[in-house]
Amino acid sequence: MTEVEGIPLKRRCSEVAEIDIKKCIICQINTIVSTCSNAQARMKILEASRIRNDLVARRLEQVDHVLFVYRVNNECYKSYILKKTLTKLEESSKATEESEGDESVPTPSVS
């Protein structure tokens, strides 16, 4: 399980609990930090969740993409959409796909 600042991000589909749309979609924790919902920022979260394919992505599958909220702080929104991290994830995903594609059936040699 991957953890960022104590927030579990990778879980099995069966571990996705009931989602409270009044809580931050990323951490689902009760805190005194207020949440917000901006259309442009929601799109960034949706794109990041597509790349990450993690617990947040599964949460987003269960809610209306206009209704979710998030906390704009370093632990949630800012770390979740960090471009450097997303770029590394995309590169590693592409490398994995390419290496799986290289494992083709060997052609028999002609003598």
Tell whether the model's pLDDT for residue 107 goes beyond 70: no
Single pTM value for the model: 0.72
DSSP string, 8-70: E----GGG-----TTSBTTT----SS--B--HHHHHHHHHHHHHH-SHHHHHHHTS-TTT-BB
Tell whether the model's pLDDT for residue 111 goes beyond 50: no
- Is 71 within 8 Å of 27 (Cβ atoms)? yes
Comparison of pLDDT for 23 and 9, the residue scoring more: 23
| Confidence (pLDDT) at 71 | 95
Tokens of 6: 């104590």
Tens of pLDDT, residues 42-99: 999 999 999 999 999 999 999 988 889 999 999 999 999 999 999 999 998 888 877 7
Comparison of pLDDT for 49 and 8, the residue scoring more: 49
DSSP at 1: -
Question: Which of 68, 66, 83, 75 shows the shortest CA–CA distance to 9?
Answer: 75
